[in-house]
Structure 1
């Protein structure tokens, strides 16, 4: 795995905006950063894909262990009223895209290691599926790729289309940076290509109709199915949480399914390590502060918020945020490679319904946060 410095396309901003990536820069720096690229060999790509498929198998086993245990569901800080809904959805397997992004540490020489699984509201989707593909075709047309994400999403929509209502709402928050709106718009594009009609919806516009006992949108249309870019742990704390449970019992389809509250929670990491100690794709993890070097992670944090790296009893790096009251887990420290000064890459390995579908790479400091840069990749050799 080599980081290669290259010259950006002179009109790269216009090109990525044309593909929908309007959120391509932040604070005067490129978020989409094509001044470099990562070069993988086919064997390295195969190793990442094999590890990702194996991790998905481990998550299935860990998910079952959590579903079977009220003690663990409580340890995950999941509200008691949602326990039954999670169990029901886990057993019923309602129609879903079942997409997610394994964040992995990988140096190209030793087995990839799991950091976490972003599988409820994963972002960096458009840039991984589309933008880096067209970049590669333009800049390195003869290179290979590890990128079948777009095709996998379209195929999955087509697969579940017969089980969906006539219209699926696609909901997100109204965000100034437009990261969420870009992701939601891209999901709508893939749905349309897969034969599924969608309508956009802002989370704040969702209302509960007491007479009809259903959620409706701003135009008073009943919401029969909704793919939402809004985490379940936030939904569970909303004033309409009891109505949400009511809608689930009526068979209203929410995507991703409510059981994603388990897999997207950092508390899954100690469960995985207890079930599969010493597994080559896992890092030791526990609920208790370990004696050695470790990374402290809140159960529900996002974009690196409130994460700290502890080495030799000293906090080496940390990020501020609003998480942590729900508890922490501690994962052994993995020495990320530093192919360029201050550039520590984390590989996002995308999964669609249990199958590896492509990768995206983000660079940041020691803790990957919302200031990370997306750097494209190619495959050579």
Structure 2
């Protein structure tokens, strides 16, 4: 896995915007960064694909274990959600996608975390880097079947969901664009779709149902909104009491996998597994270098990196009151002072491609650069 510096395309901003990526720059600096790309070998792609499938298998086993051993309290999951999680896990309602973040130092692949509920950087991975490849590197290949697999999954879901399918997010540009892209893939699969902000979802007591602004019932909704936030909202109790009437994608059992405590449970169940890092709930134990992460953290918030007793980096955020995990520090792919994490996507539980995020520090955050990749 090697990083190459290149000249960006002329009018790259316009080209990127044409793929739907409007948030290509942040505070005057490129977020989408095509002044470089990462080249992988076909053998490395095969390893990442196999590792992604294996992590998915381990997480399925961990989900069974959490439910059988009733370990919800250790994960900070509220009691009111437990019966609904168990039921959803057993009944397997529609689930669409997720992203496993991996560290790769050129020799070892290690699981960093699983963004199973609300992963973003999807448009960049599925569409924008694909058109970048076609524009100047068409002789190479890319680990990227996201678009086709998303459409295929929506087609598979047609018999199991009510239409129209609502697509909900907060009015934040990245979230809105991600949801609009997912809506477009559903539309290409022939589904009827409607966009809505999470704030515009209403509750109609007379019909005991969620409704849109026109008072039409919402029976199926894809939401780019964390389950733990949804349950804490005023209509959280209604979301739990109407599980039979309203189908939420992603399903509530994703709370098991989007929770960083999963990483400690995985290490407990599969100690020494080549893809896992030693991770603990009760402190760093004998780890010399470790990363502290909040259970419900996202996008690198409230993360601390300690190397040999020295705090190298720490981020702020809204998760100061969360419980934390302590995970052994893992080296990332690097080039000089640049560090890169691999986001490996799954559609319907199957590997579907990767996106690479770069940072000049130790922590990948929501402002970390997205850099395209190819393989030969």
Interval of TM-score (by shorter of Structure 1 and Structure 2): over 0.9
How many Å apart are 1:357 and its aligned residue?
Answer: 0.3
User: 1:47–1:111: 8 Å Cα contact kept in structure 2?
Assistant: no
Partner of 1:219: 214
Within 1, Cα distance between the matches of 2:60 and 2:108?
A: 21
Partner of 2:369: 373
TM norm structure 1: 0.96
User: 1:299–1:324: 8 Å Cα contact kept in structure 2?
Assistant: no
- Which string of whole-angstrom CA distances, capped at 9 and with x for unpartnered residues, describes residues 208-239 of structure 1? 11110000011111000000000001001111
The reply on whether 1:255 has 2:249 as its aligned counterpart is yes
Partner of 1:273: 267
Partner of 2:8: 8
Within 2, Cα distance between the matches of 1:251 and 1:95?
A: 14
- Which string of whole-angstrom CA distances, capped at 9 and with x for unpartnered residues, describes residues 108-158 of structure 1? 3x2310000011011000110011001001110100110001111010000
How many Å apart are 1:68 and its aligned residue?
Answer: 2.0
User: 2:164–2:193: 8 Å Cα contact kept in structure 1?
Assistant: yes
How many Å apart are 1:9 and its aligned residue?
Answer: 0.4
- Which string of whole-angstrom CA distances, capped at 9 and with x for unpartnered residues, describes residues 48-75 of structure 1? 00000000000000011112233x2111
The reply on whether 1:157 has 2:151 as its aligned counterpart is no
Secondary structure of the 2:334 match is coil
Partner of 1:30: 30
Partner of 1:347: 342
- Which string of whole-angstrom CA distances, capped at 9 and with x for unpartnered residues, describes residues 93-119 of structure 1? 01221x1110000123x2310000011
Q: Report 1:103-142 matches (<5 A).
A: 103-108=101-106, 110-142=107-139
How many Å apart are 1:161 and its aligned residue?
Answer: 1.1
- Which string of whole-angstrom CA distances, capped at 9 and with x for unpartnered residues, describes residues 146-183 of structure 1? 000111101000011121112110000011xx100100
Within 1, Cα distance between the matches of 2:18 and 2:281?
A: 46
Partner of 1:321: 317
- Which string of whole-angstrom CA distances, capped at 9 and with x for unpartnered residues, describes residues 281-333 of structure 1? 01010112223211000000111111001122221111011103120000001
User: 2:209–2:245: 8 Å Cα contact kept in structure 1?
Assistant: no
Secondary structure of the 1:227 match is strand
Q: How many residues align?
A: 373
**Pairing partner for 2:304 from 308, 330, 341:** 308
The reply on whether 1:330 has 2:329 as its aligned counterpart is no
Give me the CA root mean square deviation: 0.9
Within 1, Cα distance between the matches of 2:332 and 2:125?
A: 21
Partner of 2:78: 79
Secondary structure of the 1:81 match is helix
Within 2, Cα distance between the matches of 1:322 and 1:228?
A: 21
**Is there any run of 5+ residues in structure 2 with no aligned partner, and where?**
none
Partner of 2:289: 293
Secondary structure of the 1:166 match is coil
**Is there any run of 5+ residues in structure 1 with no aligned partner, and where?**
none
User: 1:306–1:322: 8 Å Cα contact kept in structure 2?
Assistant: yes
